[in-house]
Amino acid sequence: MSTRMLYPELGREYPVAVRAKGSYVYDAEGKSYLDGCSGAIVVNIGHGVPEIAEAIRAQVEKITFVTRLQFTNPQAERLAAELTALAPGDLGHVFFTNSGSEAIEAAMRLAFQYWQETGRPERTVMISRDGSYHGATLGAIGLSGHPNRRHTVRAVLPAWPRAAAANCYSCPFGLTRSTCGLDCARSIEDAILAAGPERVAAVVIEPVVGASGGAVPPPPGYLREVAAICRRHDVLLIADEVITGLGRTGHWFGCDEEGIVPDLLVLGKGLSAGYAPLGAVLLRDRVHDAIGAGSGQFSLGHTYAANPLSAAVGLAVLRYVREHDLPARARELGPRLAAGLRRVLRARGIQADVRGRGLLLAVDFSRPGEEPGITAAEVVRAARDAGLLLYPAGVTPVPQAVMVAPPLTITVAELDRLVDLFATALDTVRPRVAASLEGALR
């Protein structure tokens, strides 16, 4: 269908989605797609859940909007209470937004304000990592180390320092698991020291890198080490859990893997699982109380922030995740899916890295130090033709990883079908790659 909207590829014909149920999306031609990436790793509870439809209907009949300048509302209050009860440590306060990017912006603003309120306004430097993605708005993309997504606005972004990525498949220090000395964590300390600790406001990390690098878990001990470094230099730690939060990795929060408590924890995507726009920042008492004891004001708020309708959706989604123990399902099904993907690759003699945590997985076709062979774009296209939705991942020059992150509610039969469809997609991509390599050699 031709469109009047701006889509990522102008002029391309996109299929038209008209319906979705469970793990499947249907287009206007009646074709079905197994949702192997939960949209953009969003729809953690699957599509078309009746309990959420009922919660939305009931809330619309009660009240959908009040402004935060005039009222609070029971739905947002309850959601805040439930999130802070689930979160680790003293993450006892919540600021709601409408997206992950807005929540990242709010976390940055809270960090800057924390230092202003505590008499250190010169702490304005943010440290993130190479290859990271923290959102699309100018502040959030300024924080991101993802060259493909920064290039059109690079000239206006702040020149904040970046530490090395924590990626054992393609270790920036050339180390292996047996020689790993957590140099990637040390590089965060190096960046803090180079900037001058007295100027650094916060360090931002994803506990498991999502779609930018392609489901990259850090080496064991990394999260604890980064938390210790931040404590040592009195720098705030922001955990971007937009993808990892609320069950995807097999824990409620990605930080739970190593029992760390960040100063600010950012949520989005799975918080409303695609049923309403919703994001949130959780704040430790230290940050909240500094503002409370200082100016007593946090003057940021998008019009729709904390609206009762999105909050009712968040509550219903959280109830669903809890009642179906979806973090446990992610823990249980992840290894089965990873084994299936590895089996398919092995049977075809394709070398690729299958990695991730829980149901946040990726297949990375890149070979460190080698020319690109199979690319993310062609696997995603071939999978879509075969009826499987995957999500491209990886950074420049040519993204070569695909995210495999289905709804946490996917059945075992659907999981096995996902693996079969992935095999079908590879069988169309491989001959094309072989032919183009042959052509290049001729």
- Using a 10 angstrom Cβ sphere, with 0-12 exposed, 13-18 middle and 19 or more buried, the burial of residue 157 is middle
Exactly one of 35, 130, 189, 240 binds ligand PLP (CB under 6 A); that residue is 240
Return the range that interacts with ligand PLP (CB under 6 A); candidates 54-62, 110-118, 175-183, 237-245: 237-245
In the bound state with ligand PLP, the residue whose beta carbon lies nearer, of 302 and 319, is 302
243 counts as binding ligand PLP under rule CB under 6 A:
yes
Exactly one of 59, 73, 99, 128 binds ligand PLP (CB under 6 A); that residue is 99
Per DSSP, the residues of 105-151 read HHHHHHHHHHHHHTT-TT--EEEEETT----SSHHHHHH---HHHHT
Return the range that interacts with ligand PLP (CB under 6 A); candidates 53-61, 97-105, 216-224, 327-335: 97-105
Q: Which residues of 278-294 are buried (b: 16+ CB within 10 A; e: fewer)?
A: bbbbbbbeebbbbbeee
Number of chain residues interacting with ligand PLP (CB under 6 A): 16
Spell out the alpha helix ranges (H) of 46-92: 50-62, 74-86
Could you give the CA distance from residue 330 to residue 325 in angstroms, rounded to a whole number?
Answer: 9
How far apart are CB 435 and ligand PLP at their closest, in Å? Answer: 34
Q: Any idea what the Cα angle at residue 145 is, between residues 143 and 150, rounded to 5°? A: 85
In the bound state with ligand PLP, the residue whose beta carbon lies nearer, of 116 and 310, is 310
Exactly one of 36, 46, 88, 100 binds ligand PLP (CB under 6 A); that residue is 100
136 counts as binding ligand PLP under rule CB under 6 A:
yes
Q: Any idea what the Cα angle at residue 142 is, between residues 264 and 145, rounded to 5°? A: 90
Exactly one of 117, 206, 257, 353 binds ligand PLP (CB under 6 A); that residue is 206
200 counts as binding ligand PLP under rule CB under 6 A:
no
- Using a 10 angstrom Cβ sphere, with 0-12 exposed, 13-18 middle and 19 or more buried, the burial of residue 32 is middle
135 counts as binding ligand PLP under rule CB under 6 A:
yes
Query: Contact 208/220 with Cβ under 8 angstroms?
Result: no
In the bound state with ligand PLP, the residue whose beta carbon lies nearer, of 24 and 133, is 133
255 counts as binding ligand PLP under rule CB under 6 A:
no
With CB atoms as reference, the residue minimizing the distance to ligand PLP is 100
Exactly one of 24, 95, 114, 133 binds ligand PLP (CB under 6 A); that residue is 133
104 counts as binding ligand PLP under rule CB under 6 A:
yes
Q: How many CB atoms lie within 10 A of CB 65?
A: 12
254 counts as binding ligand PLP under rule CB under 6 A:
no
Using DSSP, state whether 101 is helix, strand or coil: helix
101 counts as binding ligand PLP under rule CB under 6 A:
yes
38 counts as binding ligand PLP under rule CB under 6 A:
no
Cα Rg of the chain (Å, integer): 22
How far apart are CB 176 and ligand PLP at their closest, in Å? Answer: 27
Give which of 46, 44, 30, 23 is closest to 417, Cα–Cα. 23
How far apart are CB 192 and ligand PLP at their closest, in Å? Answer: 22
210 counts as binding ligand PLP under rule CB under 6 A:
yes
Return the range that interacts with ligand PLP (CB under 6 A); candidates 134-142, 158-166, 306-314, 385-393: 134-142
In what order do the strands lie in the sheet containing 391-393?
A: 353-357, 360-364, 401-404, 391-393
How far apart are CB 228 and ligand PLP at their closest, in Å? Answer: 23
Could you give the CA distance from residue 158 to residue 138 in angstroms, rounded to a whole number?
Answer: 10
**Contact residues for ligand PLP, defined by CB under 6 A:** 40, 99-101, 104, 133-136, 206, 210-211, 240, 242-243, 268
